Amino acid sequence: MSALPLILQEIWHRKLDFLLGLLAVTITVALFVALLTMSGASDRETKRLMRDMGFNLLIVPKDTDMEDFWARDFAQEEMPEDYVHRLAGSGDIHADHYVAILQKKIEWRGRQILLTGWLPEVPSARRTREKSFMGLGVPPGRACVGYELARGLNIQRGDEIELHGKSLLVDAVLAEAGSKDDIRLYTHLHDAQEILNKPGKINMIRALGCLCGQGGRLWSIRPQIAEVLPDTRVTEFRSIAVARAETRRMVERQAVLILSTVAIACVIWVAVLSLLNVWERRQEIGILRALGAGSGKIAVLFLGRAVSVGLGGAVLGFIIGTGLALHFGPTIFKVTAAAIKPVYALMAQSLVAAPLVALLASLLPTVVAVTQDPAVTIMEE
Amino acid sequence: MVRLAHVTKVYRRGKEEVHALKCADLAIRQGEFVTVVGPSGSGKSTLLLTIGGMLHPTQGTVEVGGTDVYALSGRARAKFRAERIGFVFQMFHLLPYLTVLGNVLLPGLIAARKSQRQEALSLLEHFGLGDRTRHKPSELSTGQRQRAAMVRALMSHPALLLADEPTGNLDPENARVIMDYFGEFHQNGGTIVLVSHERLAGEYADRVATIEDGRVRE
Ligand SMILES: Nc1ncnc2c1ncn2[C@@H]1O[C@H](COP(=O)(O)OP(=O)(O)OP(=O)(O)O)[C@@H](O)[C@H]1O
Ligand SMILES: [Mg+2]
């Protein structure tokens, strides 16, 4: 028999029951669709960001005590300047810029200053990008002076300064940075090596826009660098890409918890509604039997209703979930609004999953009702 | 047409046992109109549903038209009911969400028969429901409801009509109308088993049997 008209008429007759079931399924599907749409967008955007920007890495000698490093602003240990060339020459790792740095906190004219010897970037294998880096290419014999330092010691552009026996021409006084840069004195790496009496030594390398040959996976860069420079350690600077990946992971972890709770509640909700529906219609089972319907046909009527709830909820849930993702995605996942697009594959998945779950939730009450002695229900008045 | 041999029906609820039918024997010929009269709780509904293949007896056999009803599989028994038996209940048992026409067409839909729309409309007309076909059962009077239920029972051209207190909820006037339709079905060669607690229901019958405490007596 064609059950559809019967199912639809029953649904129309018990609209409220149907709407309640629909609501449960819609909420669940909407939440899943919203989360998956947003996190998919976030994932895509993060990948794109990683591809475009790469990672910013800080490479220091292996034995560096990082606690000490962050407290002092420089690594006590040193490594050969040659490391930066090795890194740049490696075919597996690509970066926009490599900067070899020798940095120490020293005493100068009664002040603590940060002396940073900066080797103008080493040309790397990959030089496709324009030179956007704020890289301070300080030529030998010149210095750039941080804002506070210059102000406190009354240094001006063009002044000649002397630093531990080395005289330097002040190339620039930097604008106020509101950071350690304000007490920094930049020189060419080789000048700093001379001043600090550490020829051929550096104590950190910064690699900006770093990618590895395998396509820019965060976790594969470290081992690759470790291969090229075994006695170093690598730290990632917090890049936008990393921060976003972390936001996503955090939101997802919470969402999984909330979602599974909601999903379980909704399955129970649908099951209870279905139980009530079957209970309300148990006499109908007797009537249908008296009219010659077998268990199979009766089950089709009752389960068909559950499937309709699932299908309706899937469609509505997809629309609402996608709407939610488009609306709230940029705030929750910190992605650009344009990155979030409807994921139509989720529509197909919802259309399969929601009716299936609704069906399973209704299965038990239906089976119980259908296998019950029909005469018993028909005699109940 | 109908033959019950030593039919016993025991309802079990936990440890409690209710013997609704106690070794009931009943034979009904083709074309006969038999009324079974008995007080409330005597087992009338149980008897009727057992005859109709709706309620597995605890013991004994039930034959309808030469077929051992409970020897059939559940599926075959459903088909058998769809083709051979019509039920009319005291509470009408129309599906609330279908129109009168929808209810009447339901047996045909279940049995996957080709559209009986025309036949249904003319039968409804005959039962005085020509202008009520698009109404829901809740919009009908009780007499109209029972007439609709009767049309539904007749749609499969059953050989056997089983009626459980069909006039129990009706006023005398409507009761008479319904009983006239039963008489008509009988006149056309149909077999009827009607159960009632009212002696008066025997009026139309060829034969009246009594049931008391699960035992059938002629
Ligand atoms: N599902 C059931 N479980 C247990 N006992 C039942 C059940 N159905 C009926 N009975 C009992 O079986 C006996 C016969 O019931 P039945 O409904 O056949 O009587 P009846 O003659 O139709 O009564 P009434 O005239 O009130 O409709 C009664 O004692 C009733 O309480
Ligand atoms: Mg009864």
Q: What burial class does residue A120 get, using C-beta atoms within 10 Å of its C-beta: 0-12 exposed, 13-18 middle, 19+ buried?
A: middle
Q: Are the beta carbons of A379 and B45 separated by less than 8 Å?
A: yes
When pLDDT is cut at 50, 70 and 90, the band that residue B131 belongs to is: very high
Q: Which ligand is nearest to the CA of B42?
A: 1
* Residues 147-186, chain B, touching A (beta carbon < 8 A): 152, 156
Distance CA B166, CA B145 (A): 11
Cα distance from A366 to chain B (closest Cα, Å)? 17
Q: Which residues pair with A166 in a beta bridge?
A: A163
How distant, in Å, are the alpha carbons of A156, A278, A303, A306, B99 from that of A362? 82, 9, 7, 6, 26
When pLDDT is cut at 50, 70 and 90, the band that residue B217 belongs to is: confident
pLDDT of residue B181: 92
pLDDT of residue A134: 42
Beta-carbon count within 10 A of A241 CB: 23
Q: For B176-213, what is each residue's pLDDT tens digit?
A: 989 999 999 999 999 999 999 887 777 889 999 999 99
Q: Angle at which helices B117-126 and B142-154 pack, to 10 degrees? A: 140
Contact A299, A370 (CB under 8 A): yes
DSSP reduced 3-state for A326 = helix
Per-position DSSP letters for A185-204, written without gaps between them: EEEEHHHHHHHHT-TTEESE
Does the beta carbon of A199 lie under 8 angstroms from any beta carbon of chain B?
A: no
pLDDT of residue A11: 93
pLDDT beneath 50, residues of chain A: 126-134, 213-216
* Token pair recorded at residue A290: 């008296």
Q: For A134-189, what is each residue's pLDDT tens digit?
A: 455 788 888 989 999 899 889 988 999 998 888 999 988 888 878 888 889 999 99
pLDDT of residue A213: 47
pLDDT of residue A238: 60
Q: Are the beta carbons of B109 and A284 separated by less than 8 Å?
A: no
pLDDT of residue A372: 74
Contact B23, B215 (CB under 8 A): yes
Given A9, A294, A375, which is nearest B97 (Cβ)?
A9
- The sign of the CA dihedral A214, A220, A222, A226 is negative
Contacts of A2 in chain B (CB under 8 A): 109
* Ligand 1 pocket check for B114: Cβ under 6 Å: no
Please, which residues have CB within 8 angstroms of residue B13's CB and are 6 or more apart in sequence?
A: none
Q: Of the residues B44, B49, B212, B216, which should be mutated to test ligand 1's pocket, given the most ligand atoms within 8 Å of the CB?
A: B44
Q: Are strands B85-88 and B2-13 parallel, antiparallel or unpaired?
A: unpaired
Contact B82, B71 (CB under 8 A): no
Q: Which ligand is nearest to the CA of A380?
A: 1
- The sign of the CA dihedral B103, B107, B110, B112 is negative
Cα distance from B52 to chain A (closest Cα, Å)? 8
How distant, in Å, are the alpha carbons of A71, A84, A296, B45, B47 from that of B79? 88, 87, 12, 22, 20
Please, which residues have CB within 8 angstroms of residue B190's CB and are 6 or more apart in sequence?
A: B31, B158, B159, B160, B161
Question: For residue A130, what is the DSSP state?
Answer: -
DSSP reduced 3-state for A253 = helix
Q: Quote the strand ranges of chain A, DSSP E.
A: 55-61, 79-80, 93-94, 97-108, 111-122, 142-145, 160-163, 166-173, 184-188, 201-202, 204-212, 232-236
Question: For residue B113, what is the DSSP state?
Answer: P
Distance CA A332, CA A95 (A): 31
Averaged pLDDT for residues B78-86: 92
pLDDT of residue A380: 62
Distance CA A23, CA A313 (A): 7
Q: For B11-69, what is each residue's pLDDT tens digit?
A: 988 889 999 999 999 999 999 999 999 999 999 999 999 999 988 999 999 999 999 99
Per-position DSSP letters for A140-190, written without gaps between them: TTEEEE-HHHHHHHT--TT-EEEETTEEEEEEEEPPP-SSGGGGEEEEEHH
Contact B4, B26 (CB under 8 A): yes
Distance CA A123, CA B2 (A): 103
Distance CA A285, CA A303 (A): 13
Distance CA A63, CA A58 (A): 14
B161, amino acid identity: L
- The closest-lying atom of ligand 1 relative to the alpha carbon of residue A375 is 1
